Amino acid sequence: LATDMCLSQLPRLLSSQPYVHTTFFHEHLSAFEVWLRFGHARHEPPDLLPIVLQALLSQVHRPMALAHLSQFLAMGSPMVAQAISIGIVPYVLKLLQTPTDLRDVLVHIWTRILTVDMTCQADLIREGGHVYFMGVLADEHASPLLRAQAAFVLSVILQGGQDVCHRCHLHAACVNQLDDPSPLLRKWVVLCLAKYWRDFPKGKEACAQLNVIQKLSARLAEEPSVEARAALVYAMGTFLSGEEAIPSGDLRRRIDYAIPVRVAPLIYDGSLLVRREVLVALHCFLMLNLKPVARHLGGETTLWQLLDAAHHPHHPYFLPSALRAPGGSAAQPVPPGSAGAASADTPRSSAGTSP
């Protein structure tokens, strides 16, 4: 019927009369809106979803279709999985080239998609989607929630696109958000930094030159949010993990020894999440500086006892006390060995859900 209505206008178009848009998409979008309000209670998949995706191709119906899709995806992971199964990704991927008036709903849709299927980050990298979300993150006029969602999307992209984000100076955009009033945004930009330099020497070197660790340490001293505080400790511990850190030298020694000094006092933090991240960060420090720490503690046997005790929840204060001299005063840092130092990566990723 809709095709017949369109074809019936051919004589009018040949006589230079204006084209009258079909009501097909408007009617089906209205029906989908009714399903969103009442039909979802039956837990039955909507038959109208493929038509809603086709409506994205029309500039006239695109805003309404995106708004309905955003509502649909917000209903939970099963709805997101269904939308992915019928091919929503190619549609919303092309829409990243659209004007900024659709930006809010697009960021929300991509946040939902990547929460369920992180493999879609490969499509974003291929199409240059990281540039789009970096623009959202750097926009001071965007809401804190929107920028936090953009930081979440970028943290997923970083799992396979550290190099492309490095070329776009993602770390600088994240550092500029560290003092934002929103704790949600502060948490996600810090987690984004952690993903950026994890097992990525070029990222660690770039952040070291910008004194990012010092800025995180300053933020840690005054951070009131528990989740943001845990994210800061996690990021600083991640800086010490991996196969290799920044090149050897005075800068590396200052950073390597500044991190445990900053995070160790938080072993007395009231949050279990923060205390756990402190233990992991101190473990990364020990594994990166095995020989110097073993030499200071008087032998490798003592060191391995320390590392073993760190895995037991009944010894929450063991590692910080090990960083002190026998007399109770803070031990002077020993420069790390230049050869043969072992390293270990923490088999853990940032916990939490998308904003």
pLDDT for 255 equals 67
Q: Using CA atoms, how far apart are residues 1 and 334, in angstroms rounded to an integer?
A: 81
Average pLDDT, the chain: 78
Q: Does the structure show a pLDDT above 60 at 160?
A: yes
Tokens 């960060």 correspond to 281
Look at 24 and 193; give whichever has higher pLDDT: 193
Q: Which residues contact 148 (CB under 8 A, 6 or more apart)?
A: 182, 184, 185, 187, 188, 355
The mean pLDDT value for 183-190 works out to 95
Does position 231 have pLDDT exceeding 90, yes or no? Answer: yes
pLDDT 10s digits, 295-327: 655 554 444 454 454 444 443 333 333 333 233
pLDDT score of 249 more than 80 = no
Confidence at 8, pLDDT banded by 50, 70, 90: confident
Q: Which pLDDT score, from 0 to 100, does residue 105 have?
A: 93
Structure tokens at 125: 């990298």
Cross-strand pairs, 330: 324
SS3 letters across 215-243: HHHHHHHCCCCHHHHHHHHHHHHHHHCCC
3-state helix, strand, coil in the chain (%, to 5): 65, 0, 35
So what's the pLDDT on residue 145?
94
Instruction: Give the per-residue pLDDT at 26.
Output: 82
Please state, for a pLDDT cut of 90, what percent of the chain lies above it: 36
92-132 tens-digit pLDDT:
999 988 766 789 999 999 999 999 999 898 989 998 889 99
pLDDT on residue 246: 54
- How far is it, in rounded angstroms, from Cα 234 to Cα 194? 7
Report d(CA 96, CA 90) in Å as an integer.
10
What tokens were used for 322? 């090990």
Inform me whether the pLDDT recorded for 163 exceeds 50.
yes
8 A C-beta contact, residue 267 and residue 275: yes
Counted residue by residue, the chain has a size of 355
Confidence of residue 253 (pLDDT cuts 50, 70, 90): low
Going by the DSSP 8-state scheme, the letter that residue 119 receives in this structure is G
342 falls in which pLDDT band (50, 70, 90)?
Answer: very low
The sign of the dihedral angle between the CA atoms of 263, 255, 327, 290 is: positive
pLDDT at position 228 is 95
Confidence of residue 234 (pLDDT cuts 50, 70, 90): very high
Mean pLDDT along residues 5-17: 74
**What percentage of the chain has pLDDT greater than the value 70?**
72
Instruction: Output the six-digit token pair for 333.
Output: 């840092």
How confident is the model over 51-74, as a mean pLDDT? 89
**Which structure tokens are listed for 110?**
């991509």
Q: Which residues pair with 324 in a beta bridge?
A: 330
Phi and psi at residue 324, to the nearest 5°? -105, 155
CA 267 centroid distance within chain: 25
- Decide which of 86 and 350 is more confident: 86
